[in-house]
Amino acid sequence: MTADPSVYHSERLARSYALYRPAVHASIWTRIAATIPPDHEVLSALDIGCGAGASTRALSAHARDVSGIDPSREMLGHARLALPNAAFTLGRAESLPFESESFDLVAAAGSLNYSEPLAALREASRVLSSGGRYVAYDFSTGRVGGDETLLAACFERFRTEFPPLPGYALDLKALPFGACALALTAFETFDVPTAMAVDTYIEYILGETNVEAAIAGGMTEAQARRVCDAIFTPLFRGELRTVQFPAVFAVARKVAVAR
């Protein structure tokens, strides 16, 4: 089941994404770039589901010109402020308002869950130049290292207080690449370690979509903050801790289609 993208039509969530998301995208792109031949020149790149621009910023280190597209006006407002030299468009992955073969690289960071995968892949392939690369990647909620028993109890309480939203499971390796003139060339799962203090972690966790759904449902942000403080503060013990973000990516090459 496709996840509901309406959760992102929130100025509070857009502000959180702009200010408090962890610096994970750049680390993921370092791994992705290592799988792409160095002679593959990227003049133009598209970030599908660009959100508040964090993924676009990371992508811009690997392309001369970058564009982003997202269905959330709130997110795009922050993206345009963060990256004034990038081009941002309001739109959806299933109907990209771009000419065919207009990008050398197309990326989707944690956004395929919110679209119909086959339609989104077909559109991505259409706007991708022959031999170009399509990249889908995502990362999960960061988990603080330490006492595994305490960690499990904290996240069980977190899931109880803020139930996960439906429709998030998506196996990137099993996407219908072949039906969209794409050939899988790389797939990897790994953890991205990031040092965080408890205050920084709480600000980040308040930007998770399940927390946003609870606030949209009537919980105040102050209430959500108190709950998250009570759950996660014991994991940090007043110290800077390493937070592991489980990440995954798939890279596919646009193949020539016989005419």
Please answer whether residues 67 and 86 qualify as being in contact, where contact means their C-beta atoms are separated by less than 8 angstroms: yes
- Give domain 5-254's CATH architecture: 3-Layer(aba) Sandwich (3.40)
- The yes-or-no verdict on residue 258 having pLDDT over 80 is no
Break the chain into its structural domains and give their ranges: 5-254
pLDDT digits over 161-217, tens only? 999 988 767 899 999 999 999 999 999 999 999 999 999 999 999 999 999 999 999
Amino acid letter, 34:
A
pLDDT at position 259 over 60: no
